[in-house]
Amino acid sequence: QVQLVESGGGLVQTGGSLRLSCAASGRTFSTYTMAWFRQAPGKEREFVAAISWGVGETYHADSVKGRFTISRDNAKNTVFLQMSSLKPEDTAVYYCAAERFGAGRGVADFRSWGQGTQVTVSS
């Protein structure tokens, strides 16, 4: 388990950009697969993007591919989600998640979660 602290959420206009950050505790950050999920009111939490432990292979949901980019800075124990060309449909609470040596991309595959940060995209 690892403690996660998120930041960077806010209100942005359609077509705008935001960068979310998630800071993790500990000295073994590079061994954790990191991911971003989001949850809109009345909907299930859904996978957005993940970056694997080690070399950092990335995965992006079809709904955000080409617009969002996940990255990590192991020296800073931080994972980022760069969001561009934002749409109202992207409005949700965004959660950071971590799993040591993780290989899955579902909610149940991650045991450490951040508090969530609100992203609101206005039309």
pLDDT over threshold 90, residue 26: no
Whole-number pLDDT of residue 1: 80
pLDDT over threshold 90, residue 104: yes
**Tens digits of per-residue pLDDT, 47-74?**
999 999 999 999 999 999 999 999 999 9
Question: Rounded to whole angstroms, what are the CA distances from 115 to 57, 82, 95, 111?
Answer: 25, 19, 7, 13
